[in-house]
Amino acid sequence: MPIIISPPPAPAPVPLPPPPPEPPPPAAEVFAIAMPGAAAQPTRAPDTDQLRTENATGYRPADDATKPSGAPVRMGLILPLRSETLGAAAEALRAGFMAAWERDRDNITITVVETGDVAQDILSSYAQTLEAVDLVVGPLARSAVTAVATSPLVTKPTIALNHPEGYGTANATPLPQQMLPMGLSIEEEARQVAQWAAAEQPGASAMIITTSTPWQRRIAAAFAAHWQQLGQQVRMVELSAPNNYLSDPELVQLRARLQQDPPGLLFSAMGADQTRQLRGALNSGLVHEADEPVISTADGLPATPAAPVAPTGFAALPLYGTSALNAGGGMNSPTNELDGVRLLDLPWQVQRDHPAVMVYPHPVQAGTADMERLYALGIDAYRVAREISRKPAGRFSIDGVTGRLTVDFGQGPARFERVEQPAVFQHGVPQAVQQ
């Protein structure tokens, strides 16, 4: 049933070159102790699609030349809000999208299209939505984006909230020119970390530490391929992790391997808890401290502590990771095991004084870090959609809450780039740094 809700943009950059094909990642070194693997995710039968319209005031249709501000625009937001597996993620994204619309309505009407999980039902909803709107935002699931991208239906600007299967690989099918994928990609994030690490550690070899978890393998493969593309040497080690806890015997073997042949840096494809365990195991007993504490008897007070000794051995190895290291929402450890670890994340998560981050409301009930990132994606999806509706052909950039965004749309194949924010752990919390 329709719900009626009563009733400012960005600069311009350089074209984005298409990425060259990446080499295959190296085979992972696996230690001798076999452990069970991960279970596959279940799929759900479709729910009945439902339309919900939220009116706003807004922008200009993207199927025309540039329109003056105030011309009406109809946007459709297609999300799996009726899915048990993706419903919470869809709701977080919807909330961010509507928060951005509330701040800058400008005669835009939003039609929220609620779907289930099945690709065929989403295709049907997409086709119906196209007839009623000027621009579509969605769908969200990778399988749904793939189904839309490989169909002949994409005849109006469509901002996909994920990347289709095979996107960015050498043999990927070209996308429809009216489709712009702008999902949060852990693979792209890993490639950016590789670029950053190569700039900071020129000529260094890298060792990637991962487990057999599928998302970690994807991160590891993306980093390895880009590192090789940069002409750097890389090795990959896959550790077993029963009950998500790294195998102690394998960590001992890894320490011995590093002692014999240390790399120039480490890259963790793992999350915060496993990386914290890795760091503790590798650094144990290798940071030299003063043999005896120095105590003053004057007034019973300790003397000025000796200057800290620079870490040596494994403790001195630069360690890089992705946003998976940042649990967010007060979930980071109060201890300092990750201090000095470098990572990339969204400004929304690590740069609260960022101008764009400060102007949008944060959810009343903070969820997990992943839900907060999807909320931020919703904000930037609306901002990109609004800009495309104003200028359907051309290039523009946005200093977004998910990173510095560069978009080239309506002039051949659409191109999108997101540059995330570098950060370093300090006192157990990631702090934004200048790259």
Q: What is the pLDDT of residues 237-246, one digit of tens each?
A: 999 999 999 9
Q: What pLDDT, on a 0 to 100 scale, did the predictor assign at position 291?
A: 33
- CA-wise closest residue to 348 among 236, 430, 226: 430
d(Cα 192, Cα 408) in Å, to the nearest integer? Answer: 20
Q: Dihedral (C-alpha) 356, 358, 359, 363: value to the nearest 10 degrees?
A: 110
The radius of gyration of the chain's CA atoms, rounded to the nearest angstrom, is 24
CA distance to 210, 334, 367, per residue, from 30 (Å) = 10, 32, 35
- CA-wise closest residue to 207 among 219, 195, 196, 220: 220
Q: What pLDDT, on a 0 to 100 scale, did the predictor assign at position 302?
A: 40
d(Cα 410, Cα 407) in Å, to the nearest integer? Answer: 10
d(Cα 406, Cα 79) in Å, to the nearest integer? Answer: 24
Is residue 397 within 8 A of residue 406, CB to CB? The reply is yes
Q: What pLDDT, on a 0 to 100 scale, did the predictor assign at position 363?
A: 83
Q: What pLDDT, on a 0 to 100 scale, did the predictor assign at position 97?
A: 98
Is residue 29 within 8 A of residue 238, CB to CB? The reply is yes
Q: What pLDDT, on a 0 to 100 scale, did the predictor assign at position 207?
A: 98
Q: From its phi and psi, is residue 161 left (phi > 0), alpha (psi between -120 and 50) or beta? A: alpha
Q: What pLDDT, on a 0 to 100 scale, did the predictor assign at position 328?
A: 79
Q: What pLDDT, on a 0 to 100 scale, did the predictor assign at position 153?
A: 96
Q: What pLDDT, on a 0 to 100 scale, did the predictor assign at position 252?
A: 93
CA distance to 75, 175, 188, 292, 407, per residue, from 388 (Å) = 11, 18, 23, 66, 9
Counting as low any pLDDT under 50, the low residues of the chain are: 1-17, 32-65, 285-311
With b for 16 or more beta-carbon neighbours within 10 A and e for fewer, the 159-189 pattern comes to bbbbbbeebbeeeeeebbebbbbbbbbbbbb
3-class SS at 322?
A: coil
Chain centroid to CA 214: 16
| Cis omega (within 30 of 0) for bond into 139 | yes
Which amino acid appears at position 14 of this protein? V
Q: From its phi and psi, is residue 332 left (phi > 0), alpha (psi between -120 and 50) or beta? A: beta
pLDDT tens, position by position, 90-119 = 999 999 999 999 999 989 999 999 999 988
Q: What pLDDT, on a 0 to 100 scale, did the predictor assign at position 24?
A: 65
Q: How many residues does the chain have?
A: 435
CA distance to 53, 73, 132, 378, per residue, from 2 (Å) = 5, 17, 14, 21
Q: What pLDDT, on a 0 to 100 scale, did the predictor assign at position 173?
A: 81
Q: What pLDDT, on a 0 to 100 scale, did the predictor assign at position 27?
A: 67
Tally of CB atoms within 10 A around 244: 13
Is residue 196 within 8 A of residue 422, CB to CB? The reply is yes
Q: What pLDDT, on a 0 to 100 scale, did the predictor assign at position 166?
A: 78
Tally of CB atoms within 10 A around 24: 9
Q: Tell me which DSSP letter residue 201 carries.
A: S
| pTM of the shown model | 0.80
- CA-wise closest residue to 194 among 221, 217, 163: 221
3-class SS at 206?
A: strand
d(Cα 181, Cα 137) in Å, to the nearest integer? Answer: 10
- CA-wise closest residue to 87 among 66, 115, 113: 115
Q: What is the DSSP string of 27-90?
A: PEEE-S-----PPPPP--PPPPPEEEEE-------TTSS---TT--EEEEEEE-TT-TTTHHHH
Q: What pLDDT, on a 0 to 100 scale, did the predictor assign at position 48?
A: 35
CA distance to 88, 89, 301, 324, 339, per residue, from 368 (Å) = 11, 10, 44, 12, 22
